[in-house]
A and B are shown apart, each in its own frame.
Chain A
């Protein structure tokens, strides 16, 4: 049955790359995966600037409560809640997801598997347009009456569902609407990623020849698809509670507020892996390239990731240990949570082992990839304190959680973004960025980052709880030592934000005036480096579509003159 109806192949690629395109069709309504990737990237950067500004505003408020903050003004309690809520929401859903998953997924999947575009270019474009709309809806929510939603990014009802409690009647509906739209956008994008990788690999590319980063993006898309449904259903219920007067989450009328927590975290925990896996894949590709090493135990990496993916669906209630669920349930979730530490630890071991026997050159992308491992380790080990139910009784909802979370999400979203951009910049823009300024930016980011969050670990251990705009009403938390640490963290943030200017200048300068990039500046194996920088429309001329002969990590193969062996080079 499958072969009985041909998909009209006679119409394929007769005009590829020849016709003139107007500005609108090239930049606004492009179906080219590289252009869509850039659209996601720039939208993500714009949202990151907003999210970063929010972080600046509330960190300043925490260090200098009540101060008239430059460029913002006085932060009221309601504004503070809205700032932290939208900082979290933006950074996860409008920065990490579009940049890490969508921008790099769109950019690298067709290039790395050797085809000319996604299988559904128009759906791809639609996905971006829905995403852009969702971003605009979210931004509009800051300007409506009552201000933006301030119920934290987890949006626990009844606070999120009842306007008389959250005081943001419009903001909360726009917020949940924007999040829902964003999910739809990524469902469409995810279907594209999965089907493209499944069906459109270059001839000869077997399962084991797919670069790890492509695997990771596809697995992440599957995880997203399998976990987001219940939350989408939950979001519909929340929207109805807010606007139609239903009582899904209202305990006084037969609903249950804990239902939302289950739906949210059933998605929320796999979501961590959705954004965690793609940068993990980038690390694999980058450290092998710059260590001139074959990836240690390729198949083990895959099996481990499959295991992580499956396990990630069984751990959600570790976010709810003390939220009034049956205490016996906590024991089950402690077991699964500690189990999931094993595949993650194994992945870290694999990456460290890959470095053994390498020939490591510390370029900017390599520095970012290595820092991912070093920093994520901190995020990983501190998670054990929170996954162990007995210890979580104390740490729940303290700054310890916050610091742990940022030690996982900073590597994911920020380090992942920088390593991807610095590594694939030549392929994206056909130019090179300055390595020197890249390194300046690296050290100027990574050192202050640790200086922001290490004090927050201490503060959390000292009992400082979260989402408080001003600690002066808690004498135990207002000792001078603690206030000094808050000020120190804020100072570090200012330094880190200042260094992001270095990146922006380097980025724009590289795009405009950088030296022309050659086809394969890093001497890497995977297919994207076998075409021009930047690749033409259709990626390769139709006659030169690549054929694959080996896996992507054949570096330093004994007996060969060159220390790399591109996937498409015939034996």
Chain B
């Protein structure tokens, strides 16, 4: 950290560089998920029989996970608020709460998948299940990566350091949440 370039102290666009970068990360992620979901939707429209496959997904578990992610987004917002007030330890606590949400989400997902695989719905069962595991898996990987980064941010924030990062991870977390908002109806509700 000792030789931070002068470049990072400038802000010609009127937005802190880190925030700008996170927005660009989000843009590039949107097109990745966009490509995947567009492919899924095109296939889905061409295959009306996928509804039968989708009927075997568990809407209630999906809904529970949606609720978990949404509330974790709320705690991320509160963490940002605490950070902008300069209250690092409080922000850290709220971040840990968010991570708890992520862990819950992944754990529930793990049980859900284990149950589905037990019933014989694996990634090779049909193209619907291939999309189901690929899209949700890619999303889960983002949840896990986000939680790890959030842990790093929280450790620093607890010592009142790098507080601006609380907002950055928050933006990313909202994005991860938003992806799920698209995945949930597409994979669970549309039957």
Contacts and interface: CB of A to CB of B under 8 A. Distances in A.
A24 interface: no
Interface string A104-134: 0000001000011111110000000000000
Interface residues of A, number: 62
B180 to A, nearest CB: 16
A116 B35 contact: no
A385 to B, nearest CB: 30
Given A119-B21, A254-B47, A7 B8 contact: yes
Contacts of A194: 20, 24
Given A7-B16, A9-B9, A229 B4 contact: no
B10 A115 contact: yes
B104 interface: no
Given A11-B1, A198-B12, A234-B39, A229 B28 contact: yes
A246 B123 contact: yes
A9 B32 CA distance: 34
Contacts of A301: none
A199 B123 contact: no
Contacts of A244: 123-124
Contacts of A542: 6
Contacts of A191: 21, 24-25, 28
A205 B12 CA distance: 9
From A2, A6, A263, A538, name the one whose CB has the most chain B CB atoms within 10 angstroms.
Answer: A2
Given A117-B5, A191-B28, A263-B39, A201 B10 contact: yes
Contacts of A352: none
Given A13-B6, A255-B127, A228 B138 contact: no
Contacts of A482: none
B119 interface: no
A20 interface: no
From B3, B19, B42, name the one whose CB has the most chain A CB atoms within 10 angstroms.
Answer: B3
Contact of A11 (B2, B16, B123): B2
Contacts of A232: 32, 35
Contacts of B25: 191
A6 B4 CA distance: 14
B7 A117 contact: yes
A118 B5 CA distance: 8
Given A229-B35, A233-B32, A233-B39, A7 B17 contact: yes
B6 A545 contact: yes
Interface in B135-190: 138, 162-164, 167
A4 interface: yes
A259 interface: yes
A233 B33 contact: yes
Contacts of A234: 35, 39
A342 B29 CA distance: 32
A233 B2 contact: no
A245 interface: yes
Interface string A185-226: 001001110111011110001000000000000000000011
Contact of B32 (A6, A199, A230, A248): A230
Contacts of A2: 14-16, 19
Interface string B18-41: 111100110111111111101100
Interface in A51-100: none
B115 interface: no
A269 to B, nearest CB: 15
Interface string A262-291: 010010000000000000000000000000
Contact of A259 (B2, B6, B19, B39): B39
A561 interface: no
Contacts of B107: none
A115 B6 CA distance: 7
B126 interface: yes
B11 interface: yes
A225 B31 contact: yes
B31 A195 contact: no
Given A199-B20, A229-B29, A236 B1 contact: no
B10 A240 contact: no
A357 B144 CA distance: 61
A119 B123 contact: no
B28 A187 contact: yes
From A13, A233, A237, A240, name the one whose CB has the most chain B CB atoms within 10 angstroms.
Answer: A233
Q: When A and B form their complex, which 3 residue pairs have the shortest distance between CB atoms, in order from nearest?
A: A230-B35, A229-B31, A5-B164
20 contacts: A4-B84, A5-B83, A8-B162, A14-B3, A116-B5, A119-B7, A191-B21, A192-B21, A194-B20, A195-B24, A198-B12, A198-B20, A227-B31, A230-B36, A232-B35, A236-B134, A237-B130, A247-B124, A253-B127, A538-B5
Given A190-B28, A244-B123, A248-B39, 16 more contacts: A1-B84, A9-B9, A11-B2, A16-B3, A116-B5, A118-B5, A195-B24, A198-B13, A199-B13, A227-B31, A229-B29, A230-B32, A237-B130, A246-B130, A254-B126, A259-B42
